[in-house]
Structure 1
Amino acid sequence: MFDHDCKEKKENSVSLPGKNYDDFLEFLLCIHPRILKPITETNVLRIVSIADEYQVTSVIKKCKEYMISWLQASFDQARAKGNHYLYHAEYLRPCLRIVAKVHELSYNDLVKFAVKSIAKFGHILYNTGQKESQKMHIKNQPSPSDKTGDETFGDIKMDCMKMFQNLPFEIKYKIVAERLLHLNDETNLKY
């Protein structure tokens, strides 16, 4: 842009309408040769769209690799957390964010991987048609009003349901279909 006779070269500035300043700065810090800030869960979903728009293949590749490892780690952490589904909601939430982003960017291989990852979580975390039973609180099991950090388990679950409902129909269908295909699979969470 600055090497050719473009408006930006003459003005020595680039206008970026519609771009979030913090996200773009984060992107620049990840590509600057002297800084090369690492791709992490705090920045990957913020910078992948910018990397895609400007076709920065090295950053796109790192973002895709990070999202795959994040999806895998989320399920592994949920499994290690315990059997109660409310414990798993906080690990499902980033998976839903990832599937929305990779669908938006048409990263079809990553969409398939994300769908399979989300389908391993129980549908009670994202299916709004599913009513929770009004059972008595069982000792050592969380209730929706119990807190994890600053949020309740119930709030996190509701956030997951909203994100799921905001996904395109085709993605919701793929997740539910994948869940049904492997319902009795030992690699899935049981609820």
Structure 2
Amino acid sequence: MLALPILKSVVVRMLSLHLKIAQFMNKKDTEPKVELFCVLLLEEMADSESKIPFTEAGDCLDEVEFVFDDGQKLYVSQNFLYYVSPVFKAMFEHDFKEKETRNVNLKEKVYWDFLEFLLCLHPDVQKLVDSTNVLSVVYIAEEYQAKLIIRKCKDFMSEWLQSELESARTTSSDLEKLGRVRTCLRILSTAETLQYNAIVEEACKVIGNIGHAIIIGTLSESKEYERKQSQKGNIYEEPSNEDPLAEEPSNEDPLAEEHSNEDPLADCKTLFDKLPEQLKYKLMVARQELCDSIEMHRMKFSRKGHRLI
């Protein structure tokens, strides 16, 4: 357990860290956001008595060592693992080799993702599940049956979808909408893999409300898209005098910088193509149902003699 003065120091440094990340979001960098958080937090605490939980040996008498493919290690209390994961509990209660060696090899796991997962569970840290980590943490939470984090991930994925839809509705830029759809497709893909049926349904409706041009490719005919692509495909760059359609970069989309040098239309097509056929069909049906509803609404007002816009 960290001492109270150290915990206060952690809080102060965490606030400072959030400001640094907010500033970082306006810079071009392809470093993964989960790794970014951990690296910055380590730097913030390097000269302090406080330290990141799980990163140094010797804190617990019942310590278990996690070893990753790249040789990096994390150190976790066995009692902590008992409480947060029935998978780890079974591992140490039954005759698995890890019970004797107290050494767990995490094959094909990413050090930074797993550390983020543990920090979300740690009672003195309680790292938030957010857009920087949810799509990586949720897979680990499911594998180790960490119900608390699974619930938080599901709740945030649903909130994130609605946030993307609202952002798409408030912009006239096809390219901004394209970025929102890309995010929603990633959420949809994750939800489909993990069989989160309610989130799959919600994601299909959200994407259907934003538009279908990103899927069938007609967005590439847009003059705005052509201009942006000629400028190295950066859809979140600073507006210039020559491009009156350019919009301010959005600080609300932490994935924007990660893909700033990629073709967003190609990203969306790739994500769509990887979906199962039945899910592609569901997306098209959601879009068609919306279009039919709009058309019937237009016909109703037209018959009443109202001028249509």
Q: Which residue in the other structure is 1:65 paired with?
A: 155
Is structure 2 residue 200 aligned with structure 1 residue 92?
A: no
Q: Secondary structure at the match of 1:14?
A: strand
Q: Secondary structure at the match of 2:103?
A: coil
Are the equivalent residues in 1 in contact too, given 2:169–2:210 (CA < 8 A)?
Answer: no
Give the 4+ runs in structure 1 shifted more than 6 A: none
Is structure 2 residue 190 aligned with structure 1 residue 101?
A: yes
Distance 1:132 1:183 in 2: 21
| Correspondent of 1:133 among 198, 203, 221 | 221
Distance 1:27 1:87 in 2: 30
1:43-82 aligned within 5 A? 43-82=133-172
Query: Which protein has the larger Cα radius of gyration, Structure 1 or Structure 2?
Result: 2
Distance 2:219 2:163 in 1: 28
Distance 1:80 1:142 in 2: 22
CA shift, 1:36, in A, is 1.3
CA shift, 1:87, in A, is 2.2
CA shift, 1:105, in A, is 0.4
- For residues 46-79 of structure 1, the C-alpha deviation after alignment (integer angstroms, 9 at most, x for no partner) is 0101111111111011000000000000010111
CA shift, 1:5, in A, is 4.5
Q: Which residue in the other structure is 1:189 paired with?
A: none
Q: Secondary structure at the match of 1:38?
A: coil
Are the equivalent residues in 2 in contact too, given 1:144–1:155 (CA < 8 A)?
Answer: no
Distance 2:98 2:210 in 1: 48
Change (3 A) 1:131 1:92: closer
Determine what percentage of the aligned residue pairs are the same residue. Answer: 38
Q: Secondary structure at the match of 2:92?
A: coil
Change (3 A) 1:81 1:181: same
Change (3 A) 1:74 1:142: farther
Are the equivalent residues in 1 in contact too, given 2:174–2:219 (CA < 8 A)?
Answer: no
| Greater RCO (CA < 8 Å, at least 6 residues apart) | 1
- For residues 1-52 of structure 1, the C-alpha deviation after alignment (integer angstroms, 9 at most, x for no partner) is 3355432121112121121222111111111222111001010000101111
Instruction: Supply the AA of the counterpart residue of 2:167.
Output: Q
Distance 1:65 1:142 in 2: 37
- Report how many aligned residue pairs link the two structures: 179
Q: Which residue in the other structure is 1:20 paired with?
A: 110
Distance 1:94 1:20 in 2: 22
Is structure 2 residue 276 aligned with structure 1 residue 168?
A: yes
Change (3 A) 1:4 1:34: farther
Are the equivalent residues in 1 in contact too, given 2:220–2:226 (CA < 8 A)?
Answer: no
Instruction: Supply the AA of the counterpart residue of 2:195.
Output: S
Unaligned runs of 5+ in 1: 187-191
CA shift, 1:167, in A, is 1.4
Q: TM-score when scaled to structure 2?
A: 0.53
